[in-house]
Amino acid sequence: MTNNLSPEALGILTDEVRAGVGSETLLRVMGPILDTRIETVLNLLDHCPPNLDMLLDLRAKLTAFRMLRRELTDAVRVGREASERLNR
């Protein structure tokens, strides 16, 4: 039951659920694209000449893709936890 939650807490949990649902949708739609991009960057890294500029550029791209995936995954987890709290 949500009777013991303040209106502010209820609003925060509701926002977290919405963000989680949106993130889950993005991951479902964009996840395969992210996977393809990450794989492409890893392949480029495998065949990259020993050039520091190129290596750093590929590292930055890989970091950005992985960070995006991690942030979306975290938002999904937080949204599910918030949903569980709302349903209690």
Q: Are 57 and 74 in contact (CB under 8 A)?
A: no
Q: What is the pLDDT of residues 45-63, one digit of tens each?
A: 999 999 999 999 999 999 9
Q: Which residue has the tokens 């995936």?
A: 69
- CA 62 → CA 4, 13, 18, 67, distances in Å? 44, 32, 28, 8
| 62 occurs within a structural domain | yes
Specify if 46 maps to a domain. yes
Q: Is residue 21 part of a domain?
A: yes
> Does residue 2 lie in a domain region?
no
Q: Tell whether 27 is covered by a domain.
A: yes
**For residues 75 and 20, is the Cβ–Cβ distance under 8 A?**
yes
- Count of domains for the chain: 1
Q: Which domain holds residue 80?
A: 7-87
Quick check: is 47 in a domain? yes
- Residue 1 has a pLDDT of 47
pTM over 0.75: yes
Helix, strand, coil percent content, the chain, rounded in steps of 5: 85, 0, 15
- Is 38 contained in some domain? yes
With respect to residue 12, please indicate whether it lies within any of the assigned structural domains.
Answer: yes
